[in-house]
Amino acid sequence: MAEICIFPIPGCVTFPGTVFPLHVFEPRYREMIQRCLDENKLVAICHTQSVISPAKPTENMREALSSNQATYRPYDVFSAGLCELTDTTDDGRLYLNVHIQQRYRLGQAVQLLPYQIYECEPFDDRAPTAAEQSDNEQLKDKILHRLLALLQADADADDTISDLLQSDEWQSMDAETFSFRLFGIIRFDAEILQECLQLDNANDRLSFTLSLLNGEV
Task: Give the confidence band of 77 by pLDDT, cuts at 50, 70, 90.
Answer: very high
Task: Give the confidence band of 154 by pLDDT, cuts at 50, 70, 90.
Answer: confident
CA distance 185 to 19: 11
Least confident of 36-45, 68-77, 167-176: 68-77
Q: Which amino acid is residue 37, in one-letter code? A: L
Phi, psi dihedrals of residue 88, rounded to the nearest 5°:
-135, 165
The mean per-residue pLDDT over the stretch 100-109 comes to 96
Task: Give the confidence band of 79 by pLDDT, cuts at 50, 70, 90.
Answer: very high
For residue 208, CA distances in Å to 14, 50, 55, 86, 156 come to 17, 25, 39, 35, 26
CA distance 188 to 12: 10
Name the DSSP letter for residue 129: P
Task: Give the confidence band of 52 by pLDDT, cuts at 50, 70, 90.
Answer: very low
Sorted by sequence, the CB contacts under 8 Å of residue 166 that are 6+ apart come out as 148
Give percent above pLDDT 90 in the chain: 76
CA distance 73 to 50: 7
Instruction: Determine which helix (DSSP H) or strand (DSSP E) holds 65, and give its type and residue range.
Output: helix 61-71
Other Cβ atoms within 10 Å of 10 Cβ, number: 14
pLDDT for residue 206: 97
pLDDT for residue 155: 73
Class of the CATH domain delimited by 2-122: mainly beta
CA distance 204 to 195: 11
From start to end of the chain, where are the E strands? 2-8, 19-24, 42-46, 77-88, 94-111, 117-122
Query: Which residue, among 217, 48, 196, has the nearest Cα to 125 in the 3D structure?
Result: 196
Per-residue pLDDT for 194 more than 50?
yes
CA distance 152 to 89: 40
Global confidence as pTM: 0.85
Chain length of the chain: 217
